[in-house]
């Protein structure tokens, strides 16, 4: 009888051990399955995050691409202005551009400008952002609603000058200095552009300079300063920007008026 009890007890113990082993095996199998699922989910999450990062990087690069396109368009427009000088009825005198081999003494009386500067229009009492481009012969400004008319037997034009964002529009009038022709690639007829003479200030520079009237609403800068403005008065360091102070309007700021007074 005693041996029988011992045998039964041993069987019960063995059964208990086998049950524990079976349960542990099931638990380990379940844990492995759960671990595999977690690993798979983590891999999917990492893939999604990488895709989101690629999309974000692409979106962030778009403004730079648009800016580069605007600059390329602006450069092509300046080159068209240069080519148009060959069709002018009146030939302008050769423009002497300062060369970089001159010594510092040659630049003693010249104003240093960066590739971007503020241009001040005294009568309008406002500044306009400008791009200084030694590759362009003539200067140009953003002119819209251009209308030619006659005053005292001479040709005049009236137009609107505005910032790139169109926040303010300034009506202006000026006598026509000359007319230039520009022939675009896909156009059969040449475009006529008026050239006017306007007073501007830039730092210590206070002078009148010629501007070609052109729609620059798609350009980054409403004003482009070319070599006709820079000649003999300024040198350009393209590595710098806004080297000259931005002029402030007087306390009794004027309302926008025309550049030249008088009725049509």
Q: Return the CATH number at 227.
A: 2.40.70.10
Does 246 reside within a domain? Answer: no
**196 vs 23 pLDDT, higher one:** 196
**111 vs 31 pLDDT, higher one:** 111
pLDDT recorded at residue 106? 53
Domain extent at residue 228: 104-237
How, if at all, do strands 223-225 and 139-151 pair? antiparallel
**123 vs 31 pLDDT, higher one:** 123
CB 81 within 8 A of CB 182: yes
pLDDT recorded at residue 164? 74
Q: What percent of the chain has pLDDT over 90?
A: 38
The candidate with the shortest Cα–Cα distance to 144, out of 169, 118, 120, 127, is 169
The pLDDT-based confidence of 63 (bands split at 50, 70, 90) is low
Mean pLDDT across 19-43: 66
SS (H, E, C) 163-231: CCCCCCEEEEEEEEEEEEEECCCCCCCCEEEEEEEEEEEECCEEEEEEEEEECCCCCCCCEEECHHHHC
Ramachandran angles phi, psi of 137, nearest 5°: -75, -55
**261 vs 62 pLDDT, higher one:** 62
Q: Would you state the structure tokens that stand for residue 121, as one six-digit string?
A: 């229009």
The candidate with the shortest Cα–Cα distance to 225, out of 184, 235, 217, 247, is 235
Does 243 reside within a domain? Answer: no
Does 233 reside within a domain? Answer: yes
Does 62 reside within a domain? Answer: no
How, if at all, do strands 126-132 and 223-225 pair? parallel
How, if at all, do strands 169-182 and 154-162 pair? antiparallel
Does 86 reside within a domain? Answer: no
**pTM for this one?**
0.56
Does 40 reside within a domain? Answer: no
pLDDT recorded at residue 31? 64
* Tens-digit pLDDT profile for residues 175-190: 999 998 877 666 667 7
* Tens-digit pLDDT profile for residues 107-125: 568 899 999 999 999 989 9
CB 115 within 8 A of CB 131: yes
The pLDDT-based confidence of 126 (bands split at 50, 70, 90) is very high
The pLDDT-based confidence of 27 (bands split at 50, 70, 90) is low
CB 73 within 8 A of CB 218: yes
- Looking at the structure of the chain, the number of domains it has is 1
Residues 154, 205: Cα–Cα separation, whole Å: 29
Q: Would you state the structure tokens that stand for residue 43, as one six-digit string?
A: 């891999």
Does 229 reside within a domain? Answer: yes
Show Cβ contacts of residue 201 under 8 Å, excluding neighbours closer than 6 positions: 119, 120, 121, 122, 247
**54 vs 154 pLDDT, higher one:** 154
Q: Kindly report which listed range (52-56, 138-142, 203-207) carries the lowest average pLDDT score.
A: 52-56
Does 91 reside within a domain? Answer: no
């Amino acid at each position: 009888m005693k041996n029988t009890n011992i045998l039964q007890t041993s069987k019960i113990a063995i059964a208990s051990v086998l049950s524990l082993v079976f349960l542990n095996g099931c638990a380990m199998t379940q844990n492995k399955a759960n671990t595999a699922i977690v690993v798979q989910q983590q891999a999917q999450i990492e893939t999604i995050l990488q895709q989101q990062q690629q999309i974000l990087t692409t979106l962030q690069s778009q403004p730079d691409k648009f800016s580069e396109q605007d600059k390329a368009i602006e450069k092509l427009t300046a080159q068209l202005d240069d080519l148009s000088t060959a069709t002018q009825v009146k030939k302008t005198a050769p423009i002497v551009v300062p060369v970089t081999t001159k010594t510092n003494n040659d630049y003693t009386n010249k104003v240093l400008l960066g590739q971007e500067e503020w241009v001040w229009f005294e009568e309008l009492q406002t500044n306009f952002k400008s791009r200084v481009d030694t590759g362009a012969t003539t200067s140009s400004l953003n002119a819209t609603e251009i209308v030619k008319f006659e005053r005292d037997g001479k040709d005049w034009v009236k137009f609107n000058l505005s910032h790139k964002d169109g926040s303010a529009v300034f009506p202006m009038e000026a006598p026509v200095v000359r007319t230039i022709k520009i022939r675009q690639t896909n156009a059969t007829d040449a475009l006529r552009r008026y050239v006017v003479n306007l007073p501007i200030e830039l730092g210590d520079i206070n002078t009148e300079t010629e501007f070609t009237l052109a729609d620059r609403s798609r350009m980054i800068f409403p004003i482009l300063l070319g070599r006709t403005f820079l000649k003999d008065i300024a040198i350009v360091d393209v590595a710098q920007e806004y080297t000259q102070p931005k002029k402030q309007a007087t306390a009794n700021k004027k309302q926008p008026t025309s550049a030249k007074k008088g009725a049509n």
